[in-house]
Amino acid sequence: MQAKIKKVELRNLEIEDYKQLKKSMIESYPEMADSYWGSEDIERLLSIFPEGQLVILVDGKVVGSALSLIVDEKLVEKRHNYQQISGDYKFSTHNPNAEILYGIDVFIHPNYRGLRLGRRLYDARKELCEQLNLKAIVFAGRIPSYREHAKKMSPKTYIEKVRTKELYDPVLSFQLSNDFHVLRVIKNYLEGDEESKEFAVLLEWNNIYYDDSPKLINLKKNIIRLGLIQWQMRPLNNVEALFEQAEFFIDAVSGYGSDFALFPELFIAPLMADYNHLSEAEAIRELARHSDPIRKRFQEFAISYNINIITGSMPYLEGGNLYNVGFLCKRDGTSEMYTKIHITPNEVIHWGMKGGSNFKTFDTDCGKIGILICYDVEFPELPRLLADEGMDILFVPFLTDTQNGYTRVKHCSQARAIENECYVAIAGCVGNLPKVNNMDIQYAQSSVFTPSDFAFPSNGIKAEATPNTEMTLIVDVDLNLLKELHEHGSVKTLKDRRKDLYELKKLNS
């Protein structure tokens, strides 16, 4: 993991990127150092198919790229090598009216491998394939570890052993894990590829949304997948044990393609057991020392697992005051802090916590979201102000010890979904912490609530976890349904407000 990564960006390649692109390409292919694309080649690619050329930047530096053409299916079906499929390296095979997105290059700088950046490039290619209504993605992948086994087995046997995980190939294993399947082996594909003995594996990914009849495709993502983590409170030896458990769940929900992972309020409380000899107020201030390291590690997880993470909440010291805060760690590597506005009597009495003074919506790659911590959702003014800013999804990390407390959070969250015509996702902690003062019992049932109209579940509940059981909840929400509701719903609670009689506004912004 690179130290102090501030931002990861995936975008289309620009000619101004060429110097960095060339440098990263050379360092990515040390065995073929003279085989990089020239600036005139990149200019030609950008002139014929700019949307098909992608780059990954880390802190403004080009560290990876994926280059593509659109070619005829018949050309792919023929026996071909790299020179032929690329039109003698001049890209004359590109046909914008053809059916196949053909990958002619993909690489990640060796210093930035292990962050799943290559997966992002492949996912972006899949999205492009769907958006352009192309039939499939095809490319010929190298098998660089084959050289070590060439004397003992044929390429066919080697590929089968990689497929069954008896052998590992740094390129082919990755491609197979990204839902590509083998079409055939190609001999003499790339001249000079000694590691692969000039063999390549023709791989394909099929676009299940492909339609023979051309039609316009909505390019904006509207189906958002939420991953809610119902966290079991358990003794933890140290912060690394917390990271290990958190990464397990992040890996799980990202493996299902979730766009967000939501953790509960104060889920890091087990770490307070080391300070049980102190007063409750002193113990939670010791716990606050972990907040910045946790934020930094969760930023790394957001990059590695390509998911936006809402870190629940944790104590945070600032200017001598103790706050209850959390962090939105975006998959581009950036993060933003949110603060609990309304502090419960228990938090004041036992911990001396103070409420924050700023709240807002957050712009993400999946639309505008709001985040309110537990008690805050019981005050309808806050979600209404966020709805006025365009919020589509409200996330509520919570912590309740009894079913009474949970009932308040649940029913208030349901009300917020109805009155603000948005989705509300809540996630809480379960289990017991007998060795942590003031945190001994928990009750939760994580859920996703919807508005109440014909396009949504009749009870306004999209999905619910099993009460008081550690688990994840994976839920898809459709933002298009909210747009329809705003304009054509049975009732329109946002539009029908009598602003001639009353209004709600922030006193400071």
Cα–Cα nearest to 258, from 58, 475, 84, 50: 475
Buried b vs exposed e over 188-201: b needs ≥16 C-beta within 10 Å?
Answer: ebbeebebbbbbbb
By CB atoms closer than 10 A (0-12, 13-18, 19+), residue 139 is buried
Catalytic choice (374, 412, 422, 429): 374
Residue type, 25: M
d(CA 260, CA 372) in angstroms, rounded, equals 15
Place of tokens 């962050």: 115
Overall residue count recorded for the chain in this entry: 509
For residue 443, what are the contacts with CB-CB under 8 A and spacing of at least 6? 400, 401, 402, 403, 405, 406, 428, 430, 467, 468
Phi, psi of 76 (to 5 degrees): -70, -35
What is the C-alpha separation between 329 and 407, in angstroms, rounded?
A: 29
Comparing CA positions, the residue from 255, 346, 240 lying closest to residue 305 is 255
Distance of CA 489 to the CA centre of its chain: 31
Taking CA atoms, 507 is separated from 109, 240, 386, in Å, by 49, 42, 14
Q: Coil, strand or helix: which one is 232?
A: strand
Q: Which residue has the tokens 């050379």?
A: 26
Q: What angle do CA 162, 163, 166 make, to 5 degrees?
A: 50
- The yes-or-no answer on residue 265 being catalytic is yes
Count CA atoms within 13 Å of residue 263 on its CB side.
31
Of 304, 347, 307, nearest to 325 by C-alpha is 347
* Cβ-contact 198, 187 below 8 angstroms: yes
25 — phi, psi (to 5°)? -65, -45
Give the whole-angstrom CA distance, residue 16 versus residue 292.
36
DSSP conformational letter for 344: P
Instruction: Find, among 370, 303, 359, the residue nearest to 330 by Cα.
Output: 303
Q: Tell which residue, 115, 407, 429, has the closest CA to residue 270.
A: 429
Per annotation, catalytic residue among 129, 135, 280, 340: 340
Q: State the catalytic residue, choosing from 195, 198, 265, 470.
A: 265
Spatial contact of 265 and 398, defined as CB atoms under 8 Å apart:
yes
- The catalytic site residues sit at 265, 340, 374
